[in-house]
Amino acid sequence: MDLAYTDAEEEYRSRLRDWLAVAVPELPPRPPPDDWPARRAYDTAWQRALYDAGYGEVHWDASPTLRLIFLEETERAGAPYVGANFVGLLHAGPTIAAEGTPQQRERWLGPVLRGDEIWCQGFSEPDAGSDLASLRTKAVRDGDAYVVTGSKIWTSHAEVADWCELLVRTDPAAPRHRGITWLAMPMDAPGITVRPLRTLAGSAEFAEMFLDEVRVPVACRVGEENDGWRVTMVTLSFERGTAFAGEVVACRRTLAEVAAEARANGSWDDPAVRRRLGRLYAEFAALWRLIQWNVSAAASNGSLPGTGGSVFKLRYSHARQELYDAAAEVLGPDALDLSRPWTLERLSSLSYTIAAGTSQIQRNIVAERILGLPKGR
C-alpha cells in the first residue's frame, strides 16, 4: 500500500501545473449555459489547447495514475472539464479506438482529439432507459446505407454535435441483446429533428432527437451488424472509472466554501450543522481514496475500470446530493433564491442518482456481479 507518487508522476504533475498556470488565466470568460454554439466553441478551444500542449490524449493513453493526476490538477486550477467533448473523448472515441477499423480510427479519432468535431450519444429512448436493451429505433439496410427511424432522448449537445453514436435495432427477431448495431450518424443528415428538453433546473442540458428515415452509410457501422451491444459495453465500463475524479476535487472545494459560509452566517455554531459538514469532509476524503484504490486496481490488471466503479458511483452520487442539502441548511431561506450559490447545483444534483445507471440498477450490478447473488427481481 503506497500512496506516494513516483518521481516521474510528480514530474508530470509539476509540468502540468506550470502549463495550467499560464493556460487557465488566458481562457476567455465562460459562455452562458444556454448558448450552445458558444459552449461548443469554448470547450473545443480548450481541447485544442490541451492537444497542442501534448495532453489531448490523456483520457485514452495515459496510465490511470497519470489520468488521475491530470483530473486533480486541472480541477484545482479551475480549468474546464471535457464539456461538449464528453461523448467524443469518453464514450464514442474509446469505443472506436477499441472496436473500429483502421480507417474508422483514422477518420474519427484525430478530429475528436483536436477538438475539431464533437459527438453526442443516441442510446436512451423514451421507452428504453434503465432497460436499454429494449431499444426500438430501427435500422433497415438499403444498399450501402441503413435507413434509421425512431426517437432518442437525453442527448446532450445534440444541437451542436457533428456525429452521434447511435444504437439501433437491426434484427427485431433476434434475442434483444443480439439485434442491436452501433452506428456513427452524421448529424447533418436529412431527417434528424432535435428538440431541447428543459430539465427541472430550468436549463436545456439535454435534447430529444427524432429520426425519420435517416440514411447512415454502412461504412459508419462500428463492429459487426447485430454486435452493437457488446461494442457498447466497452464504452459503458469506461465511464465508471476515473470519470468522477475531478468532481470529487470540486466537491471538496465546495464543501470548504459551504463551511466558510456557515462560519460567516453563524450556523457553524450549531453542532448539528458542523457535524453534518464534518461527516461530509470524511466522506469525500474517503471517496478520493476509493478512486485511488480503483485506479491502482485498474493499473495492475491493465483492464478498464469495471464494477468497482458501481460501488463508487452509488456512494458518490448520494454524497454529492447530501452536500447540496447541507449547503441548503447552511443557507436557510436563501436556499430558495436561485441566484445564490449551490441552489441550482442542488437541483442539478438530483440527476446523479439517475444518470449513467440509476442507484437501483447499480445496486443490482453490485449484488449480482460482485456479491454473486442470484439474478431475479
Partner 1 sequence: MDFRLTDDQRALRSGVRRLLTRRFGREALRAAVDREGRLDRDLWRELGRAGLFALRLPESDGGAGLGLPEAALVFEEAGRALLPGPLVATQLAAGSVPGAADGTAVVTCAGQLSSLVAHLVDADVLVTIGAGAPHVVAAGEAAAVRSLDPLTPLHRLPHPPPAASGPLLGAAVLLTAAEQLGSAARSTEDAVRHAGDRVQFGQPVGGFQAVKHLCAEMLVRTEVARAAVRAAAVTGDLTEIAGAKLLADDAAVRGARDCLQVFGGMGFTWEADVHLHLKRSLLRAQMWLTTVQAEEIQAQALASAL
Cell of 323: 452536500
Tell me if 30 contacts partner 1 by CB under 8 A.
no
CB of 169 to partner 1, least distance (A): 27
Tell me if 330 contacts partner 1 by CB under 8 A.
no
**C-beta neighbour count of 113 within 10 angstroms:** 22
Q: Select the residue interacting with partner 1 from 27, 299, 350, 354 (CB under 8 A).
A: 299
Q: Select the residue interacting with partner 1 from 160, 255, 323, 328 (CB under 8 A).
A: 255
Please report the DSSP string for 33-69 in residue order. Answer: TT-HHHHHHHHHHHHHHHHHTT-TTHHHHS-HHHHHH
Q: Which of 99, 117, 239, 283 is catalytic?
A: 239
Tell me if 236 contacts partner 1 by CB under 8 A.
no
**C-beta neighbour count of 348 within 10 angstroms:** 17
Tell me if 300 contacts partner 1 by CB under 8 A.
yes
Q: Cβ distance 136 to 123 under 8 Å?
A: no
Query: 60-79 mask for partner 1 (x: CB under 8 A)?
Result: -----x--------------
Tell me if 4 contacts partner 1 by CB under 8 A.
yes
Rounded-to-integer distance, Cα 117 and Cα 134, Å = 30
Q: Considering only the stretches 89-97, 106-114, 157-165, 356-364, report the one whose residues sit in contact with partner 1 under the rule CB under 8 A.
A: 356-364
Rounded-to-integer distance, Cα 231 and Cα 221, Å = 11
Per DSSP, the three-state class of 198 is coil
Q: Considering only the stretches 40-48, 203-211, 214-222, 281-289, report the one whose residues sit in contact with partner 1 under the rule CB under 8 A.
A: 281-289
Tell me if 279 contacts partner 1 by CB under 8 A.
yes
Tell me if 143 contacts partner 1 by CB under 8 A.
no
Q: Considering only the stretches 118-126, 147-155, 202-210, 366-374, report the one whose residues sit in contact with partner 1 under the rule CB under 8 A.
A: 366-374
Q: Select the residue interacting with partner 1 from 126, 275, 303, 332 (CB under 8 A).
A: 275
List the one residue out of 316, 345, 312 whose CA is nearest residue 328. 345
What 8-state DSSP symbol labels residue 25? G
Cell 473545443, located at residue:
44
**C-beta neighbour count of 71 within 10 angstroms:** 22
CA-angle at 53, arms to 50 and 58, nearest 5°? 55
Judge residue 1's burial from the number of C-beta atoms within 10 Å of its C-beta, 0-12 exposed, 13-18 middle, 19 or more buried. exposed
Interface of this chain with partner 1, residues 305 to 324, rule: CB under 8 A: 308, 311, 314-315
Q: What is the number of alpha carbons within 13 Å of residue 85 lying toward its C-beta?
A: 29
The residue (of 63 and 104) whose beta carbon lies closer to partner 1 is 63
Q: Select the residue interacting with partner 1 from 203, 296, 348, 358 (CB under 8 A).
A: 296
List the one residue out of 319, 322, 295, 320 whose CA is nearest residue 309. 295
Cell 453563524, located at residue:
266
Find residue 357's DSSP bridge partners. none
Tell me if 263 contacts partner 1 by CB under 8 A.
yes
Tell me if 277 contacts partner 1 by CB under 8 A.
yes
Tell me if 363 contacts partner 1 by CB under 8 A.
yes
Cell 470529487, located at residue:
248
Q: Considering only the stretches 2-10, 94-102, 140-148, 341-349, report the one whose residues sit in contact with partner 1 under the rule CB under 8 A.
A: 2-10
The residue (of 236 and 290) whose beta carbon lies closer to partner 1 is 290
- Is 239 noted as a catalytic residue in this protein? yes
Residues at the interface with partner 1 (CB under 8 A): 1-6, 9, 65, 255-256, 259-260, 263, 268, 271, 274-275, 277-279, 281-283, 285-287, 289-290, 292-293, 295-297, 299-300, 308, 311, 314-315, 360, 362-364, 366-368, 370-377
List residues with catalytic annotation: 239
